[in-house]
Amino acid sequence: MPNAFNQRLENLPPEIWSKITKIEELKGQWIIGARLSPQVLGRLKRSVLVTSTGASTRIEGSRLSDEDIEKLMRGISIQKFADRDKQEVKGYYELLQNVFDSWKHIRFSENTTKHFHKELLKYVQKDRLHRGEYKKTENRVHMVDTQGKSVAVLFDTTPAYLTPKEMQELVEAAQNAFKENKYPPLLIIGNFLVEFLKIHPFQDGNGRISRILTNLLLLQAGYQYMPYVSHEKLIEDNKADYYLALRKSQKTLKTKPNIVPWLDFFLSLVYKQSQMAVELLSKENIEKLLSPKQIAVWEFLQTVAEASPKDISKNAKVAQPTVAQALDKLIRLKKVERIGLGRSTRYRKI
């Protein structure tokens, strides 16, 4: 492992180590307590796929809501958005789904990173010439607003001619660090991410690839709640702090490296994610409280914005009187709310 890496990680302040200890405690609680049924875990994963795809693409300037993405992935045409937004969303969703389903069989390597890039952009026509290839021209890291417009250049990146060499060194350093097991995986992953985003190896899609790799590496390090609480959504909710932490650390990397601002942000995010995962375990397991037909009603309501009793009956294949009983119970459990009165009454999940 390069000496520079050791120097970075040996002189970290106590609060960094304290956060790691807290995250490990919560990770242990999740492993011991993760007795949610496969149906509940399946639903959580489907929900996180939508939420994470929406958040990760919006960080880069896309304007699709989670509801738009859900419609898109169910094959419903959305005319109001540019093809590129829809193409990028589809690529991210499918790639993240593959990571969630197959992380045990994916080897972290340069080839994997390039393959992920190819998969991420496989539907984006304008990027077809550089999919899966390192950049050939210079790029910069821009902070974008909600309209997708650049509001600031955060930092310059590694020159294109040095990118293959720096990526090879970075990936090999991370691989060796995982094997040596001298440092906690969270530190190795945090260091890899700040370096990866400083190199910015691809012409486009670097931020999204970094978040896909975050999910993969944390899953492989034993943080098995990644598919059930969205990491990307937490970044979106703290976007200004995300950019600020990156900038503070990355501008030091070529002089006197200080990755503490970034590690502090990254570990705070993973800690919050760990807390949310453990909270899932303590919540009432709704599956145990509902009959199979009531579950069918509940599952259908999770796939739509709102629906009438007639729609629910038709799609859930449950008789209307049973639908009414199921809805009453779901309202009592504070899982569903009623909108409107009389014939226009509709229901939606809370």
Task: Domain 3-282: give its CATH code.
Answer: 1.10.3290.10
Q: Which residues are catalytic?
A: 200
Between 159-168, 177-186, 273-282, the lowest mean confidence (pLDDT) is in 273-282
Is 225 annotated in a binding site? The answer is no
Is 347 annotated in a binding site? The answer is no
User: How far apart (Å, rounded) are the C-alpha atoms in residues 349 and 173?
Assistant: 47
The answer to whether the beta carbons of residues 23 and 31 sit under 8 Å apart is no
Predicted pLDDT of residue 335: 82
Between 98-102, 124-128, 133-137, the lowest mean confidence (pLDDT) is in 124-128
Is 208 annotated in a binding site? The answer is yes
Measured in whole angstroms, the distance separating CA 64 from the mean position of its chain's CA atoms is 16
Is 210 annotated in a binding site? The answer is yes
Could you say which architecture CATH assigns to the domain 286-349? Orthogonal Bundle (1.10)
| pLDDT digits 0-9 by tens, 35-88 | 777 877 888 898 899 999 999 989 887 777 888 788 778 776 655 555 777 888
Token pair, residue 131, equals 């999919």
Predicted pLDDT of residue 11: 81
User: Which DSSP string do the residues of 115-165 spell out, in sequence order?
Assistant: HHHHHHTTT-GGGTTTTTS--SS--EEEEE-TTS-EEEEEEE---GGGHHH
Q: Give span(s): CATH 1.10.3290.10, the chain.
A: 3-282
The dihedral formed by the CA atoms of 192, 27, 66 and 314, expressed in degrees to the nearest 10: 140
Is 28 annotated in a binding site? The answer is no
pLDDT exceeds cutoff 50 at 1: no
Give the residues across from 336 on adjacent strands: 349
Q: Give span(s): CATH 1.10.10.10, the chain.
A: 286-349
| pLDDT digits 0-9 by tens, 6-16 | 777 778 999 99
pTM listed for this prediction = 0.79
